[in-house]
Amino acid sequence: MVASILRTRGVSPEDVIALGPEPTVTEVMDSEPTVTVATFFSPAEAHASRMALIAEPACPACGSRNVAPEAWVDESESDRQRRRGTRRKWHYVCGDCREAWPQ
């Protein structure tokens, strides 16, 4: 099945096989030297900094990396649900083309 999909896309299955297997995550990690970029007093500080390093996804419409999360109020909730507290749904929004998609 994979071979037929590759052929319909103009790719030779034999060429793909000749490339060999991709390296595993462990092999890639073992080949790179470990570098300390910062030290922290508490796990909370370390976690906050680690989260800041996570890259936002590229915009599916234009490919831009100018993307930020936004919280939107869920307008589909009933009045009773709203009285208990507004629920927000998180979306990514592209700063260049304004495309939005759920997280």
pLDDT beneath 50: ranges in the chain? none
pLDDT of residue 10: 82
The count of structural domains within the chain is 1
* Distance in angstroms (rounded) separating the CA atoms of residues 60 and 46: 31
| Domain residue limits at 88 | 2-102
Six token digits for residue 87: 């629920």
Mapped onto helix, strand or coil, the DSSP state of residue 44 is: helix
Q: What is the pLDDT of residue 75?
A: 67
pTM for the whole thing?
Answer: 0.41
Closest CA to 69 of 55, 82, 48: 55
- pLDDT reported for residue 99: 92
